[in-house]
Structure 1
Amino acid sequence: MYIRAMFRAAKIETASSPYDTIHMKVFYPAQASGSEAEQNLGEVPADVQQAPFPIVILFNGINCGIELYQWLAIRLAERGLVVVTFSWVSENLPGMVALTPGVDLQALFPEVYGTRPTASALPALLSEIKQIQSQGILAGLLDEQKIILGGHSAGGRVAIENADPKFFPQVVASFAYAAHTAAVVQLGYEPGKILPLPDACPQLLFGGTHDGVIASSSNRYGVTWEKATTPVLRTFQEALSGGRKDSYLVLLEGANHFSIAHPFDSTTGRPFLDLPATQSEDRIRDLVSETIGLFIDAHVRHQSTALESLQYLLSTPNPLIASFEQK
């Protein structure tokens, strides 16, 4: 078994040309067959012994290319998951063209928030997943009722805000790195407000103690954060009611905003605001990917030993873990 990927394209019905197309890269566990299509076209069949595959959709940070998350997509695919990354260049704000995870800004206003999805790309992604299930290499091999949303920064917020069976019943869990639900005061919210999350599915939140981007962006929310991890911690404490023991907060000692992004790209986004990581980012990424994998194994695939392994990983003293909470 090894990992292959294929490409797809989909239209965003609510967007205008030329910003109405997203391009997807779909990673899957493969098994070489030696077929003519494989030899001539590079179409390697999926490893059907691992099917049906739960599906992870990864939402990138703003102006963060999908190649920054390929390392994570491959590691999750190695665990028997299909992982979807996508690129969407859009004009989210008038005159501002950016690579976006797809944020419906109108859905963030106080009178609207919570009444409709904030993920403007997700309906098109789910529609294209149906097409992938109906024909091609992965036809009939996807578990469409086990979709996990994950993301980084703004994309992480999209993931955790839209893990809501009310809107997307096939979404069963979510995870986010360097994301929170603090409300932007320019939209009409009072300073320091934390917006609620759906809280219907298992959720996993990561924050880094050296996240300079979060620390430098507090003016958007009308406050000055005490620590870089403050809005992530408050999101876990205030946006989630918990009670099922399937929501987790992991604060990573020495990790920064872009510790999840590899290889690092200094040409786009806001890495100039970040603080230097103070620990090995290879080891941070190892911990992040293993935690996400065990979280999915425990709460989506319900593997018998995964929950115990996840608890052991996070509760055992580790210099990379500043704190761990569960509720």
Structure 2
Amino acid sequence: MSVKAIFQAVKVENASSPYDTIHLKIFYPAQVLGSHPEQNRGIFPADSQHAPFKVAIFFNGINCGIDSYQWLAVKLAERGLVVVTFSWVAQNFPGIVAITPGVDLKNLTPNTYGKSPTASALPTLLAALESLQSTGVLAGMLDLQHVILGGHSAGGRVAIENANPQFFPQVVAAFSYGAHSAAVMQLGYDAGIILPLPDVLPLMLIGGTCDGVIANNGALYGVTWEDATIPVKRTFTEAIAGGRNDSYLLLLEGANHFSITHPKDDTTGTAWLDFPATQPEEEVRNKIVEAIGLFIDAHVRSQTTALEALNQLLKSHQQGIASFERK
């Protein structure tokens, strides 16, 4: 399947200039029909035989450029999804300008958490999808009642925290890599608190046993993580009640915090905190996209074969998987 991408720029309501613009890159299954004036300008029609397309919105980690997630977006688009990545330069913290996944800090405090969404970019992104449904190469081809949220690091937390149909009725599932729901003490929490997740939709948490960023950031939460996977495990155990058999925890042996990124960018972000990966990076990425793809196919696209494959993966003790569980 051929994958192409288009770009959009959208304004964020209530954001201050110059930090009020989000730039989107939208990947989609395309038809390459040979020489054609539109294609000579880089415009390709969507492959309508796979429509209507379910949509995955991916939230980047702080100061992680979207190019590092393009490999994942392409792989998911090859499975028949439309995948949205975006770049928003803003001030998540006063005076600190960064590429942000969009975090509404005022809704993360003890008095507000769980009462309002924490995803400050998501309303704008959903509005942009409505516009794409009306005009352009994807017009009429999007299934906007089946939106999946995914993300890495802080973006992964945004994804799993906002998988709540009370806030966003069109969201039907979420996945994360290198993310957890531990409470930041600076926002007014006691040490070592794990905040609850909405826990009403299918969720998949993925982490690596060599995640140095998580291991070295315990002070933010008032603890020392003896193991890089502890807050991810605790999120699965404490923040999700389960009982529907659609919540998953996948821990990858030898994967680090940035195993989901390719190519890596060591000029920004927190790469210096990370531990070296001990498994071949391509093999780790293949496991990440296989798990995410099967999760979406099973629990969003209702493919029986995908659910069977997930069940087999749960039982397989495959090399490179430290643990895989469901509840």
CA distance in 2, matches of 1:37, 1:128: 26
CA distance in 2, matches of 1:45, 1:113: 42
CA distance in 2, matches of 1:240, 1:37: 52
2:55 is aligned with what amino acid? I
Note the 1:233-312 alignment, pairs <5 A: 233-312=233-312
CA distance in 1, matches of 2:39, 2:295: 37
Quote how far apart the aligned CAs of 1:304 are: 1.9
CA contact (8 A) 2:9 2:22 kept: yes
Identity %: 67
Residue matched to 1:163: 163
Q: Deviations over 1:55-80 (max 9, x none)?
A: 00000000000000000000000000
CA distance in 2, matches of 1:174, 1:68: 20
CA distance in 2, matches of 1:17, 1:215: 36
CA distance in 2, matches of 1:315, 1:58: 29
* Structure 1 gap segments, 5+ residues each: none
CA distance in 1, matches of 2:69, 2:120: 20
CA distance in 2, matches of 1:208, 1:314: 17
Residue matched to 1:132: 132
Quote how far apart the aligned CAs of 1:39 are: 3.4
Note the 1:1-327 alignment, pairs <5 A: 1-34=1-34, 36-327=36-327
Q: 1:282 to 1:314 in 2, by over 3 A?
A: farther
CA distance in 2, matches of 1:130, 1:35: 30
Quote how far apart the aligned CAs of 1:99 are: 0.3
Q: Which stretch shows the higher mean deviation, 241-250 or 25-34?
A: 25-34
| SS across alignment from 2:304 | coil
Alignment root-mean-square deviation, CA: 0.9
Q: Deviations over 1:246-300 (max 9, x none)?
A: 0000011110000000001100100000000001110010011011001000000
CA distance in 1, matches of 2:179, 2:56: 17
Q: Deviations over 1:88-126 (max 9, x none)?
A: 000111110000000001110000000100000000000
Q: Deviations over 1:199-235 (max 9, x none)?
A: 1100000111100000000000001112100000000
CA distance in 2, matches of 1:83, 1:27: 5
Quote how far apart the aligned CAs of 1:315 are: 2.3
Q: Deviations over 1:115-149 (max 9, x none)?
A: 10000000000000000001110000000000000
The aligned length equals 327
* Structure 2 gap segments, 5+ residues each: none
CA contact (8 A) 2:92 2:98 kept: yes
When the two structures are superposed, what TM-score results if normalisation uses the length of structure 2? 0.99
Quote how far apart the aligned CAs of 1:319 are: 2.3
CA contact (8 A) 2:314 2:325 kept: no
CA contact (8 A) 2:160 2:175 kept: yes
CA distance in 1, matches of 2:109, 2:186: 10
When the two structures are superposed, what TM-score results if normalisation uses the length of structure 1? 0.99
CA distance in 1, matches of 2:34, 2:178: 43
CA distance in 1, matches of 2:268, 2:311: 36
